[in-house]
């Protein structure tokens, strides 16, 4: 078990990922210059998919999911999937920074080729479309730190939770994304497009990251705009159980403790 | 002041309603939204226009008064259209508790008075006075595999409390336009709070 | 593509097929012609760049233009951060892709006049079961920031040839973002044209030619506007150039150098280049260089829509020969063309018009053919999950050999075709089976 001080530190790391320490340093103030630069980058790099006006309707946007989810995010009024904040909240700047840096497997490239300053500039620009960013101050959840490591009993308990919490209904008995709700085609995203329940045996395709901390974040925040709910309430005060579920999901791909 | 004008007003079944759950939130375990769309997709309700008449009396203040009106709007919204059939929706989960089928009434009409239950009337262009009064949370309960109440009106900033009184798992997924308002998985008998952060209709 | 054959060098070109492919339907072996290596490198589905592989969507076009780097960035440097000693097999896999191409079942339906003088031809309906006929190995990507490369080795059982199809290096963003991008090597000049020749078929249905008699037996499905059009032209080694072979600006591969860029923003592109021309493989008889220039205007700023308009001029210099009776004489073969393209959501419409002219034809040979020819090709495609249907329609209007009876000079030929191919929309595979990615269902 870690010290309380460490806990806080660990929680911060989860939220910000690797980039935080250096990234913060170069984050420019949101002023006219930043927005102008952000716009230039956006129109060269992002508008193909997200559209010149940020409405997710760029000329290449339809091809990505074709008739199924996802369409590129509409920055004007959509919510966000990949957050460290509670269900229904906007993402933090760090969350946006992470998405742009890591990309989204299958559908959006990683933009490590933009330097950090450029990534911040483009973030300022895309936020400027949605006035909710001015009205709300998204705050990250507090994430419980990890116990020493997965145990066999913990994984068993995780399996029990997986069934009890109905994950299998969407993700299937063995996590392969073939639960009854998914195969019946009932799952839809915010654009009313059919969406697959993620295959939990293939971490390389997870949008929110595949480390145990990433998984924990996914379970606590849910993916807004999709049927994947937040389970933060469920585990209130039962952090151990949450980690058990995380270990179990990782065990589906033989990567527990990653 | 006597009776005001008699207006025929048209309320679309899926029209915008300020601060209200736009639809009576019918609920089926776990996948409220998904099923809801199914019901909605049958098309009939969507296209249906409800012709209603409202009689209202405004006390003391006329609506065009410069000062914020504090009057009471009194009236009855009557439904004069053809009967609206109930929709029967198959329940695919937890049938042991919820039953194999559930009925979904998009609008509830009193059989004798023809009054429309749960109608929300919004008046545009009037700034209501701010109030410091503590607002009790707006409670939305999952009970017997449905939401209660089915229509609720809240004020920006008001806490929405979601409860699950059933002994089974429920997901509650409410959206405001394309943006998720809240999407939470609930174990047996639990609650969660979320403040209403902006104007608009949720469902 | 011309087939070198010594015996055929001086035989007169005779056309035996007149009403050619009236309908071609290919049920293809799942051969998504995306470059799986790119999809792997960026962990993206092929559909991010392709409408129907190998066709590119607006994002894919800009990726190609940027020297295989993400549009708006110079990400080649990211991969180059590794030292050579650290390279793993995976890195190699990230730059390499193979593809097998061929028809599992192919049916043609065409009318053949044989011998050529016969009044009515006989209709041939063929269905063949096939075996992957073409194997290509790609290596493509960026070596370091702003230096990209592309090589394609092809082993073609139909043409029984193996060799380098294309190989070039790109130097990008010289003098500022997208001011000048250089391509050097064996390349397809029309790669960035609104109607890019190479990407206009899902499944290559090549032409078929009898090399000993120089007779065309089946026309290929290359857009007719991009084809050679003329009968009677020969390359510098004396081999007949098929009237259906993509050529000049629309060549599949020619050796040379080009500069291209969008110095004023996305709306305008220029391209100038110099090629050996002369329809030769490597090496150059160096009688003269061919030059080309092109401009392209783009619009990609409204919802789900993009469009472009391009025009080019290609000036040949002793890039073909004709028979004069006494021997071979050099001619200058030029081409001018325009193309437009509109895309709304997933519906694509392309059109191209070209005009060819031959200058310096010796008087002795003038009687044998027209010195000008034109072509028009129109294509559209629309994906229906999981197939993409492509319709092509084109005609060529060009010279016919005067000694072939029944054929008028300046006769028209039309090819219509509908192609169906699998859409590459496979989800990413777990790392262990990555190599199968994008190989269709």
Which residues of chain B make contact with A229, given a CB cutoff of 8 A? 171, 173, 183-185
The Cα of C272 is separated from the nearest Cα of chain A by a number of Å equal to 23
A24-135 and A152-251 share one fold: yes
Please tell me which of the candidates B34, B177, B192 has its beta carbon nearest to residue A233: B192
- Is the separation of the CB atoms in A205 and A6 below 8 Å? no
Respond yes or no on whether the N-terminal peptide bond of residue B149 is cis (omega within 30° of 0). yes
CA distances from A78 to A126, A127, A189, C437 (A): 12, 11, 11, 31
Structure confidence by residue, pLDDT tens digits, C375-430: 888 888 777 655 556 666 666 665 554 433 333 344 455 656 565 555 443 333 33
Closest residue in C to A119 (Cα) is C73
Each domain of chain C, given as residue ranges in start order, spans: 5-437
Phi-psi region of A254 (alpha: psi -120 to 50; beta: other; left: phi over 0): left
Give the whole-angstrom CA distance, residue C251 versus residue C187: 9
Mean pLDDT score of chain C, rounded to an integer? 70
Q: Which has more confidence, C372 or C80? A: C372
Say what percent of chain B tops pLDDT 90.
0
Structure confidence by residue, pLDDT tens digits, B66-113: 455 466 777 778 887 777 788 888 887 788 888 888 887 777 788 888
What pLDDT is attached to residue C408?
Answer: 33
Q: Which has more confidence, A12 or A258? A: A258
Closest residue in A to B31 (Cα) is A227
Contact B178 A233 (CB under 8 A): no
What pLDDT is attached to residue C123?
Answer: 55
The helix, strand and coil proportions of chain B, stated in percent and rounded to the nearest 5, come to 10, 35, 55
What pLDDT is attached to residue B135?
Answer: 76
When mean pLDDT is compared over A215-219, B26-30, B109-113, C103-107, the highest value belongs to A215-219
What pLDDT is attached to residue A103?
Answer: 93
Mean pLDDT, residues A184-198: 93
Q: Which has more confidence, B188 or B64? A: B188
What pLDDT is attached to residue B20?
Answer: 28
A176 contact C CB<8A: no
Q: Which has more confidence, B40 or C146? A: C146
Contact A184 B92 (CB under 8 A): yes
Q: Which has more confidence, C248 or B156? A: C248
Q: Give the best residue of B176, B185, B189, B194 to mutate against chain A (max A CB count within 10 A).
A: B185
Subunits that touch chain C (at least 3 Cβ pairs < 8 angstroms)? Answer: A
Mean pLDDT score of chain B, rounded to an integer? 61
Asked whether C and B share 3 or more beta-carbon pairs under 8 angstroms, the answer is no
Kind and range of the H or E element at A58?
none
What pLDDT is attached to residue C434?
Answer: 28
What pLDDT is attached to residue C181?
Answer: 94
C301 contact A CB<8A: yes
The Cα of C302 is separated from the nearest Cα of chain A by a number of Å equal to 7
Q: Is the pLDDT of residue A203 over 80?
A: yes
Closest residue in A to C342 (Cα) is A59
What pLDDT is attached to residue C136?
Answer: 66
Which residues of chain A make contact with B38, given a CB cutoff of 8 A? 186
Q: Is the pLDDT of residue A50 over 60?
A: yes
Q: Name the superfamily (CATH) of residues A152-251.
A: Cytochrome c-like domain (1.10.760.10)
Contact A111 C70 (CB under 8 A): yes
What pLDDT is attached to residue A216?
Answer: 95
Identify the burial level of C212 via C-beta atoms within 10 angstroms of its C-beta, where 0-12 means exposed, 13-18 middle and 19 or more buried.
exposed
Q: Is the pLDDT of residue C112 over 50?
A: no
- Which of A24-38, A54-68, C119-133, C233-247 has the least mean pLDDT? C119-133
When mean pLDDT is compared over B38-42, C124-128, C231-235, C400-404, the highest value belongs to C231-235
Structure confidence by residue, pLDDT tens digits, C246-297: 889 999 888 899 999 999 999 999 999 999 876 555 555 556 789 999 999 9
Each domain of chain A, given as residue ranges in start order, spans: 24-135, 152-251
- Please report which residue ranges of A103-205 form alpha helices under DSSP H: 116-127, 132-135, 152-164, 167-171, 180-183
Contact A165 B198 (CB under 8 A): no
Name every residue whose Cβ is closer than 8 Å to that of residue A140 and which is 6 or more positions away in sequence: A15, A84, A85, A92, A94
Q: Is the pLDDT of residue B5 over 50?
A: no
What pLDDT is attached to residue C89?
Answer: 42
Q: How confident is the model at residue A81 (pLDDT cuts 50, 70, 90)?
A: very high
Mean pLDDT, residues A137-157: 90
- Is the separation of the CB atoms in C223 and C394 below 8 Å? yes
What pLDDT is attached to residue C266?
Answer: 93
Q: Is the pLDDT of residue C83 over 50?
A: no
pTM of the model: 0.81
What pLDDT is attached to residue C399?
Answer: 55
- Which of A103-107, A228-232, C53-57 has the least mean pLDDT? C53-57
Give the whole-angstrom CA distance, residue C109 versus residue B119: 67
Of residues A204, A234, A226, the one with CA closest to residue A80: A226
Structure confidence by residue, pLDDT tens digits, C58-67: 999 999 999 8
Of residues C258, C268, C266, C362, the one with CA closest to residue C311: C268
What pLDDT is attached to residue A44?
Answer: 95
Contact A107 C44 (CB under 8 A): yes
Of residues C143, C154, C169, C10, the one with CA closest to residue C80: C143
| Terminal alpha carbon distance of chain B | 38
- Which of A106-120, B146-160, C295-309 has the least mean pLDDT? B146-160
Give the whole-angstrom CA distance, residue A175 versus residue A166: 11
Which residues of chain A make contact with B92, given a CB cutoff of 8 A? 180-181, 184, 186
Q: Is the pLDDT of residue B155 over 80?
A: no
What pLDDT is attached to residue C362?
Answer: 86
Q: How confident is the model at residue C122 (pLDDT cuts 50, 70, 90)?
A: low
Which residues of chain A make contact with C266, given a CB cutoff of 8 A? 43-44
What pLDDT is attached to residue C205?
Answer: 61
Q: Give the best residue of C32, C59, C74, C432 to mutate against chain A (max A CB count within 10 A).
A: C59
Architecture of domain C5-437: Beta Barrel (2.40)
Structure confidence by residue, pLDDT tens digits, C129-138: 444 455 667 6
Q: Which has more confidence, C110 or B152? A: B152
What pLDDT is attached to residue B192?
Answer: 60
Question: Which CATH class for the A24-135 domain?
Answer: mainly alpha
Which residues of chain C make contact with A63, given a CB cutoff of 8 A? 47-48, 50-51, 57, 346
């Amino acid at each position: 078990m870690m010290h309380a001080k460490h806990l806080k530190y660990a929680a911060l790391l989860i939220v910000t990922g690797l980039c935080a320490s250096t990234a913060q340093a170069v984050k420019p103030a949101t002023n006219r210059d930043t927005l102008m630069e952000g716009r230039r980058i956006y129109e060269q790099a992002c508008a193909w998919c997200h559209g010149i006006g940020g409405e997710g309707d760029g000329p290449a946007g339809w091809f990505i999911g074709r008739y199924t989810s996802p369409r590129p995010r509409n920055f004007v009024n959509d919510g966000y999937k990949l957050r460290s904040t509670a269900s229904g909240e906007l993402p933090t700047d760090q969350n946006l920074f992470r998405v742009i840096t890591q990309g989204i497997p299958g559908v959006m490239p990683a933009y490590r080729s933009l330097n950090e300053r450029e990534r911040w500039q483009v973030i300022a620009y895309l936020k400027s479309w949605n006035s909710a960013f001015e009205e709300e101050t998204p705050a990250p959840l507090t994430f419980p730190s990890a116990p020493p490591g997965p145990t066999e009993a913990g994984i068993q308990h995780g399996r029990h939770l997986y069934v009890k919490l109905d994950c299998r209904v969407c993700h299937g008995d063995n996590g392969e994304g073939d639960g009854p709700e998914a195969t019946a085609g009932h799952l839809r995203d915010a654009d009313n497009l059919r969406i697959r329940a993620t295959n939990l045996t293939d971490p390389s395709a997870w949008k929110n990251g595949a480390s145990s901390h990433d998984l924990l974040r996914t379970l606590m925040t849910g993916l807004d705009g999709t049927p994947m709910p937040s389970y933060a309430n469920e585990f209130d005060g039962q952090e151990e159980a949450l980690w058990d579920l995380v270990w179990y999901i990782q065990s589906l791909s033989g990567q527990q403790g990653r | 002041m006597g009776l005001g004008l008699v207006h025929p007003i048209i309320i679309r079944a899926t029209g915008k309603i300020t601060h209200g759950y736009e639809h009576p939130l019918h609920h089926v375990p776990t996948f409220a939204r998904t099923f809801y769309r199914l019901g909605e997709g049958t098309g009939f309700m969507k296209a249906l226009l409800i012709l209603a008449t409202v009689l209202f009396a405004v006390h003391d203040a006329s609506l065009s008064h410069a000062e914020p009106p504090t009057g009471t709007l009194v009236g009855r919204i009557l439904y004069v259209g053809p009967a609206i059939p109930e929709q029967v929706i198959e329940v695919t989960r937890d049938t042991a508790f919820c039953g194999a089928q559930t009925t979904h009434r998009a609008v509830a009409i009193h059989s004798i008075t023809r009054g429309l239950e749960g109608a929300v009337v919004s008046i545009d262009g009037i700034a209501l006075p701010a109030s410091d009064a503590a607002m009790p949370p707006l409670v939305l309960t999952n009970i017997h595999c449905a939401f209660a109440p089915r229509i609720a009106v809240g004020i920006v900033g008001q806490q929405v409390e979601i409860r699950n009184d059933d002994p089974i798992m429920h997901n509650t997924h409410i959206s405001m336009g394309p943006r998720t308002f809240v999407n939470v998985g609930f174990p047996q008998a639990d609650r969660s709070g979320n403040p209403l952060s902006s104007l608009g209709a949720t469902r | 593509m011309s087939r070198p054959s010594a015996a055929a060098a001086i035989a007169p070109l005779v056309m035996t097929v007149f009403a050619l492919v009236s309908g071609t339907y290919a049920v293809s072996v799942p051969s998504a012609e995306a470059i799986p290596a790119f999809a792997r490198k960026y962990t993206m589905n092929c559909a991010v760049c392709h409408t129907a592989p190998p066709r590119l969507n607006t994002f894919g076009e800009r990726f190609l233009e940027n020297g295989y780097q993400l549009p708006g960035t110079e990400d080649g440097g990211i991969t180059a951060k590794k030292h050579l000693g650290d390279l793993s097999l995976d890195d190699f896999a990230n730059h390499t892709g193979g593809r097998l191409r061929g028809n599992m079942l192919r049916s043609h339906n065409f009318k053949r006049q044989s011998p050529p003088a016969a009044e009515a031809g006989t209709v041939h309906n063929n269905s063949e079961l096939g075996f992957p006929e073409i194997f290509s190995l790609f290596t493509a990507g960026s070596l370091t920031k702003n230096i990209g490369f592309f090589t394609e080795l092809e082993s073609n059982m139909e043409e029984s040839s193996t060799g380098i199809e294309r190989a070039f290096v790109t130097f990008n963003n010289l003098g500022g973002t997208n001011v000048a991008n250089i391509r050097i090597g064996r390349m397809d000049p029309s790669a960035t044209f609104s109607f890019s020749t190479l990407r206009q078929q899902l499944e290559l249905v090549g032409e078929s030619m009898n090399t000993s008699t120089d007779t065309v037996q089946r026309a290929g499905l290359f857009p007719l506007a991009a084809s050679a059009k003329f009968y009677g032209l020969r390359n510098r080694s004396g081999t007949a150039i098929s009237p259906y072979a993509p050529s000049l600006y629309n060549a599949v591969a020619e050796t040379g150098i080009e500069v291209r860029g969008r110095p004023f923003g996305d709306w305008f592109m220029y391209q100038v280049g110099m090629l050996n021309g002369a329809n030769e493989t490597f090496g150059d008889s160096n009688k003269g260089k061919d030059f080309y220039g092109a401009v392209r205007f783009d619009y990609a700023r409204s919802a789900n829509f993009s469009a472009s308009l391009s025009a080019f001029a290609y000036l040949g210099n002793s890039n073909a020969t004709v028979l004069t009776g006494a021997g071979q004489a050099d001619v200058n073969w030029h081409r001018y063309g325009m193309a437009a393209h509109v895309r709304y959501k997933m519906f694509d419409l392309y059109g191209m018009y070209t005009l060819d002219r031959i200058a310096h034809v010796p008087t002795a040979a003038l009687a044998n053919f027209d010195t000008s020819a034109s072509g028009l090709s129109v294509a559209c495609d629309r994906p229906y999950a999981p197939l993409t249907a492509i319709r092509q329609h084109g005609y060529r209007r060009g010279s016919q050999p005067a000694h072939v009876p029944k054929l008028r000079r300046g006769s028209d030929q039309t090819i219509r075709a509908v192609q169906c191919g699998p859409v590459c929309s496979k989800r990413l595979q777990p790392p262990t089976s990555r190599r199968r990615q994008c190989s269709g269902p």
